[in-house]
Amino acid sequence: MVDAGAAIDLRLLQVASLLESDPPAAARQAEQILAAHPHHVAAALLLGSARRSSGDLQAAAAVFARLAEAQPGSAPVQLELGRTFAAQGRDAAALEALTRALDLQPDLAEAWRELAAVHAARGEAAACDVAYARFTRLVPPEQHLLEAGVAIANDRLATAETLLRRRLTHSPQDAAAMRLLAHLAAERDEFAEAERLLGRCLEIAPGYSQARFDLARILNNQQKPAPMLPLLERLLALEPDNLRYRTLQAAAYNLLGENERAAQILTALTREFPADELVWLYYGHTMRTAGRLDEAIRAYRRSTELKPGFGEAWFSLANLKIFRFSAGDVAAMQAQVAREDLKDAERLQFEFGLGKALEDEGDFGASFAHYARGNALRRAMVLYDPDATTRLAQRTQALYTREFFAARAGFGCPAPDPIFIVGLPRAGSTLIEQILASHSQVEGTRELPDILGFVLELGGLERTGGVPTYPQSVARLTQAQVLALGERYLAQTRPHRLLGRPYFIDKMPNNFLHLGLIHLMLPNARIIDARRAPLACCFSNFKQHFQTGLWFSYSLDDLAHYYRDYLSITTHFDAVLPGRIHRVQYEALVADLEGEVRRLLEYCGLPFEEQCLRFHETQRVVQTASSEQVRQPLYAEAVDQWRNFEPWLGPLKEALGELVSR
């Protein structure tokens, strides 16, 4: 026979199992138990929870209030009362009940989480974060996701994604699962999706500091410094000495062009954490963008000394175009590449470093082999469909006709401030930027992500099985909406205009994909197409390891495909908007600097200034791979450097076809 206590316990389990799927049924069964056992605390707790889940908050509050009066020393009762008050929007009462619960039981994890939510609702960010930090110390948010965490640690990303999506199907409010899913998206360079997931995660759990830090890192990967800073300020309010928060804050200031402020933070960190290789890496980056190359080299060297297997530090040395590795450096990198336990993410950095070192030595065959291996490793890590760019090019040409623009004459913001430099990377865009930024009326900024942000808002993300609504969605914009986009662009980019000059440069190369949108929203902006001969341009991209974003650059075939689409789009706009885009051919610029500069300034409506010919003397922050080269006088040798590798470029020539001779 089953005793009476066991029978009640069984019925309570049945009620608990109904709470999520059928709260009214759970309430009815709890009432039946209480009818027979009026003072049963567990049954009363279940009844109150069922009433709350059914939406009858007043009845739930009454149940828990009676329980609290009968059980004044029960922390779980105060917790449930606090939850119910919070659901009713009675924040002050909820705060009082939850504080009482924690006075009674300081290690009641759920009470800390609920308290964090109440503080968030009251706009008390600091108190929210403190409470949520207490919750995470008691119950690490990912502890129930151990299997997915192990899969991620072992690079079984597909398995981890299946586990996490299954979890979110059953528990869509699981912030920890959402954060790990965002981590997977970031691993595939799907930064927009990662940003969306983390934003949702922080809506569910506003005090979740790890999610806030992850979001700041994702924004950093997308070069969006302005929204990074408030996230980091909130994190630092909770942990003012946190090394990673302060390092990322310095990175944000660097992206905003506030190099001195970034340098101050990192200089302090090198003193406080002299054995941290990442601190020295970021300090090196800051010194490099400021043009302080000797200090950058010393910082990168220190990073490699602290951690010889830190591939990014070695590649950062290689990425200083004027730097030359010693024989000892080459041997050290080769020893790392020979390690069987070296992860691919580190290995590819060494492959690119060795490619550069051996190219400088004149061993072009071995150099090409290293570049090819590095690119192959990186290509295997990213999801990239080269045909997606072709489809975008086709949709672009179908939409943006002469008639389209004629029907929208007068649209957009008339401000002439922006100068867009578009094209492929490694085509001379940084050189053109440096020339223009040497003019007294023009400010150089960096590769700004704002146009891409608008594109994503307009439905530009291509997903499996679906056709993006962009750019066709542009046709549905009203004149007022287009004007608002132009004004938003100027407002969002204003923090980068530190010198207050009349004109500024946006040097995001792949904005060529969005020329129609740019012209529509900013009809008086200047657009410059930086072009370089196809073989030279494609191979220069192939041997330059871009850490993120430029997915087409990891394969010679993908590069040729992308170059064709670039030509297709720019040729189309030459036809439908004659004279709108000014083209600077890199080879012509090298051959006739003054003539090309005069034509460039004339197009921009700027008077000629001699300083533009002495661009290498201009002191400014430069954040691209060409930062050292544009600080030197122009030299013609760069034009034909690709010829050293011509014996291995047969596949590239074949993929480019007739473009090679043209």
Contact, 525 vs 518, CB < 8 A? yes
**If pLDDT is split at 50, 70 and 90, which confidence band does 626 have?**
very low
In angstroms, what CA-CA distances link 558 with 440, 467, 510, 551, 553?
A: 40, 21, 15, 9, 7
**Which pairs with CB-CB distance under 8 Å and at least 24 residues apart come from 30-35?**
33/8
How high is the mean pLDDT of the chain? 89
Q: Is the peptide bond before 647 cis (omega within 30 degrees of 0)?
A: no
Is the pLDDT higher at 633 or at 226?
Answer: 226
Q: Range with the lowest mean pLDDT among 456-460, 545-549, 580-584?
A: 545-549
Query: What's the pLDDT tens digit per position in 461-475?
Result: 776 556 789 999 999
> Which of 12-21, 163-172, 545-554, 628-637 shows the lowest per-residue confidence on average (mean pLDDT)?
628-637
Predicted pLDDT at 549: 67
State residue 632's pLDDT score: 54
CA-nearest of 660, 626, 622 to 544 is 626
Give the DSSP H/E element, type plus range, for residue 585. strand 581-585
Same fold, 4-138 and 170-381: yes
CA 82 to chain centre: 38
The matching CATH number, chosen from 1.20.120.350, 1.25.40.10, 1.10.8.620, 1.10.10.60, for 4-138 is 1.25.40.10
Q: How far apart are CA 662 and CA 514, in angstroms?
A: 25
* CB within 8 Å of 192: residues ≥ 6 apart: 222, 456, 461
How many other C-beta atoms lie within 10 A of the C-beta of residue 416?
15
pLDDT digits 0-9 by tens, 258-293: 889 999 999 999 999 999 999 999 999 999 888 889
pTM for the whole thing? Answer: 0.78
Taking only the tens place, the pLDDT of each residue in 190-224 is: 788 899 999 999 999 999 999 999 999 999 988 88
- Domain 170-381: CATH superfamily, name plus number: Tetratricopeptide repeat domain (1.25.40.10)
The answer to whether 298 and 322 have CB atoms below 8 angstroms apart is: no
DSSP 236: H
Domain edges within the chain:
4-138, 170-381, 386-659
290-303 burial by CB neighbour count: b if 16+ within 10 A, else e? bbbbebbbebbbbb
Q: What percent of the chain has pLDDT over 90?
A: 68
**Side chain identity at 21, as an amino acid letter?**
S
Flag whether pLDDT at 585 surpasses 50.
yes
- The answer to whether residue 486 scores a pLDDT higher than 50 is yes
Q: Which of 345, 266, 281 lies closest to 319, judged by CA?
A: 281
Return the residue matching tokens 């004109």.
Answer: 503
Q: What average pLDDT does range 614-643 have in this prediction?
A: 65
Please identify which residue in the block is written with the tokens 């400088």.
360
Instruction: Give the CATH architecture of domain 386-659.
Output: 3-Layer(aba) Sandwich (3.40)
Q: 255 CB contacts (<8 Å, ≥6 apart)?
A: 220, 223, 225, 228, 446, 623
φ/ψ of 553, rounded to 5, equals -90, 5
Each residue's pLDDT tens digit, 415-464: 999 999 999 999 999 999 999 999 999 999 988 989 998 998 898 777 65
pLDDT, tens digit (0-9, with 9 covering 90-100), for 345-399: 899 999 999 999 999 999 999 999 999 999 999 998 888 889 999 999 999 999 9
